Structures are given as structure tokens and as C-alpha cells.
Amino acid sequence: MSETLKKTIAGLPEILPKNAKSMMQRMVAAMQEAIAADPALGATSYRSLLLKMSSDDLAREFDHSIREAMKAIQMAAAGPAHAAMGLGLSMEPMHADADSSEADFQSSTALFKKLSAKAAGLGIKSLGGYSKDVFLTAVNEAFAKSRIDPIEAKKMMPLARQTLNGELTKLYEKLDAL
């Protein structure tokens, strides 16, 4: 099984971009469900409409950001001469307000730490390119480049972080099972 995990992790730069759009589409659907289920959020129909109208934008921009991040990982793996050219994806949140709390990512962070320890035991150097920070930056960039007003996007970010945590939890569980 350890060989399967090694091969899968080595293939993630090709696998993740193929699934980025569907990942964001699932996140948008989950956010719409959460908005509809929680009347305390206010302006539920407006936010749900914004998400629906922007779902293609969000999926496209998330896909683009994930592809860029995976290219940077591949270039870094190719050697230091190539790594400097490909590091276009920022690891910093785009807005100071967009920073997530640890509570938003408790389950995925715990699984990522477990997976990292398992990978280190198998001689896999670093899984940092697959941490929540890379995905959260991609979500932030997708919202920033979508048609959603920045004020409304900021209000939706807690839901986006929760749904991203769910997606990452599933991803890390699948990897850990290998």
C-alpha cells in the first residue's frame, strides 16, 4: 500500500487540476444549501443567486489557481532552476479579512498532519503543496475574480471555508486510506 500512496502523491499535480472544477461546483452547491438552511445569514436568496450566477466564474478561477499551484509544484520537483520561474501562486491570503480561523479547518488539518507523518515515514519529503493554504488561496482568488461583489464575497467566506474543509477532509481521508 505504501507504493500506492507514493505513486498517488507523485501524481497529484496531474490529478488535482482534473478535479478542481468539480470540487468548486460541489462547494458552491454546499454553500447554497447552507445559505438556504440558515436564515440567520440574511439576504439568503440574494447570496444564493450570486453563487448561482457566479458558479462558472468560481469554478474556472479555482481551476486556474489550482493548475498554477500544481505547475509550481512540478517545476520545484524538476529542480531549483525551474522552481523560481513557476512560483506564481501566492500563499498569502488576498485580504487580511480572508484569513481563516483554525476552527474552520480542524478536521482537515488533523487529517493532513496524520497524512504528512505517514508520508514522512515512507520517505516522501513534503506535502506542503497540498495543504489547506494552497486550496484556500485558490478559493480566495476565485472569489476575488468572480462577479461577486467583494463585500458579499467576504460575507460568504466562512461558508466557503467550511465547504473547503469538507472537500479537503474527503481528499485527505482517501489519501490516508492508501
| Pick from 7, 26, 10: nearest CA to 129 | 10
pLDDT digits (tens, 9 = 90+) for 85-112: 434 444 444 443 444 467 889 999 999 9
**pLDDT for res 42:** 65
State which residues form the domain around 27.
2-176
**pLDDT for res 68:** 96
**pLDDT for res 150:** 93
pLDDT digits (tens, 9 = 90+) for 107-129: 999 999 999 999 998 888 778 88
pLDDT digits (tens, 9 = 90+) for 40-73: 766 678 888 889 999 999 999 999 999 999 999 8
**pLDDT for res 87:** 40
Interatomic CA distance for residues 19 and 104, integer angstroms: 22
Whether 132 and 109 have beta carbons less than 8 Å apart is answered as yes
Confidence of residue 178 (pLDDT cuts 50, 70, 90): confident
**Cell triple for residue 79?**
529542480
**pLDDT for res 82:** 44
**Cell triple for residue 120?**
514522512
Mean confidence (pLDDT) of the chain: 85
Q: Which SS3 state, helix, strand or coil, does residue 6 take?
A: helix
**pLDDT for res 13:** 94
**Cell triple for residue 91?**
500563499
3-state secondary structure the chain: CHHHHHHHHHHHHHHHHHHHHHHHHHHHHHHHHHHHHCHHHCCHHHHHHHHHHHHHHHHHHHHHHHHHHHHHHHHHHHCHHHHHHHCCCCCCCCCHHHCCCHHHHHHHHHHHHHHHHHHHHCCCCCCHHHCHHHHHHHHHHHHHHCCCCHHHHHHHHHHHHHHHHHHHHHHHHHHHCC
Split into its structural domains, the chain has a count of: 1
* Per-residue pLDDT at 17 exceeds 80: yes
